[in-house]
Amino acid sequence: MKNPLRLSPEPVDATIESAAAHAEDISNAFRDLQIVLPADAVVRRDEPMARRTTLRVGGPADLYVEPGSENALASTLEIAHLRGLPVFLLGRGSNLLVRDGGIRGIVVSLAHPRFSKVEISDGRITAGAGARLKGIAHEARRAGIGGLEFFEGIPGSLGGALRMNAGAMGSWTFDAVDRLRCMSRSGEILDLPACEVPVEYRSCPLLATHIALGAVLRGRPDDADAIRARMEQFSNKRWTSQPSQPSAGCTFKNPLPTLPAGRLIDELGLKGTRVGDAMVSDVHGNFFVNLGQATAADMLGLIEAVRTRAREARGVELETEVEIVGEDA
């Protein structure tokens, strides 16, 4: 008699198993955060990132947290570590493209009022990472402190500006930094003089591994009316040279000091180029705008089309300045 047929167990889909484990980690972390964090913290599941970015595209974050203190931030990082979840720091979303599949793990935003304070003493400005740059510029003006006018037109927070050493109107964020306060991913707080913090074009390498908590900024004594006049000049220049539609700011870094990316894109005749509802602005070639219903996939397709054209026509390899994160749908 032949042996009876033995059916081997069906193979387990590793992808499904991994997704189930991740979902459990998210549920456990959500529960932990609700238990550990004070009541003033914001903790949400499946938070749409499109509403959190100036480009207005992007899928949901698994978990979204706004801690209300440095201790709450450290606790959030500890829970993320214990649950094996990645952490992404979100500023005001002004230099960010989130893919349509969203962000896995925990998105942390320092938008809580306790991280947004701006205080002035002895000619120095102490500001939290969540403080709006525009707000810092106006507080400096009221105190008669010049040199921070370029912040007025940058649509972001101090934390994001520190992380990417944001610049405008010929000035850079770290030109105005006296001290930097930041936190390691293990919760250790560092308070460093600016001279000990290496910075690069559009980058602060330390803040790739640490979280900016705030900074002490310096300027120079100046007349408030003169500061106001420069701020109005910068604002007018920005509004007449940049599009009003939703965008993430400059899409590409300048390939050369003498070759701005916007001018290159203009010379290639790419203004007005579209992929779906994503378009190269007809006002500024380095701004890619959302005409209303653009997806992240539209934006990524447009970015790649422009990069390919620049490579083929000029031999120039354009590098994105906008930060691209998350997963495809």
Last-in-domain residue among 113, 142, 161: 113
The string over 187-212, giving b where at least 16 C-beta atoms fall within 10 Å of a residue's C-beta and e elsewhere, is: beeeeeebeebebeebebebbeebbb
Residues 43, 76 share a domain: yes
CATH number of the domain residue 166 falls in: 3.30.465.10
**Type of residue found at 276:** G
Residue 102 pLDDT: 98
Residues 281, 268 share a domain: yes
pLDDT digits (tens, 9 = 90+) for 204-215: 999 999 999 999
Residues 185, 137 share a domain: yes
Residue 12 pLDDT: 53
pLDDT digits (tens, 9 = 90+) for 65-117: 999 999 999 999 999 999 999 999 998 898 899 999 999 999 999 999 999 99
Residues 140, 98 share a domain: no
pLDDT digits (tens, 9 = 90+) for 128-182: 999 999 999 999 999 999 999 989 878 889 999 999 898 877 888 999 999 999 9
Residues 63, 99 share a domain: yes
Q: Could you give the C-alpha distances from 191 to 28, 125, 238, in angstroms and in order? A: 33, 15, 34
Q: Which domain holds residue 320?
A: 244-325
Q: Which of 227, 223, 224, 245 is nearest to 235 (CA)?
A: 227
Q: Which of 131, 117, 139, 128 is nearest to 228 (CA)?
A: 139
- What distance in Å separates the CA atoms of residue 160 and residue 183, rounded to the nearest whole number? 14
Rg (CA), the chain: 23
Residue 11: pLDDT band (50, 70, 90) is low
Residues 120, 93 share a domain: no
pLDDT digits (tens, 9 = 90+) for 271-288: 999 999 999 999 999 999
Q: Which of 107, 120, 129, 117 is nearest to 181 (CA)?
A: 129
Let me know if residue 130 belongs to a domain. yes
Let me know if residue 5 belongs to a domain. no
- What distance in Å separates the CA atoms of residue 168 and residue 176, rounded to the nearest whole number? 13
pLDDT digits (tens, 9 = 90+) for 251-266: 999 999 899 999 999 9
- Spatial CB neighbours of 196, under 8 Å, sequence gap ≥ 6: none
- What distance in Å separates the CA atoms of residue 140 and residue 128, rounded to the nearest whole number? 14
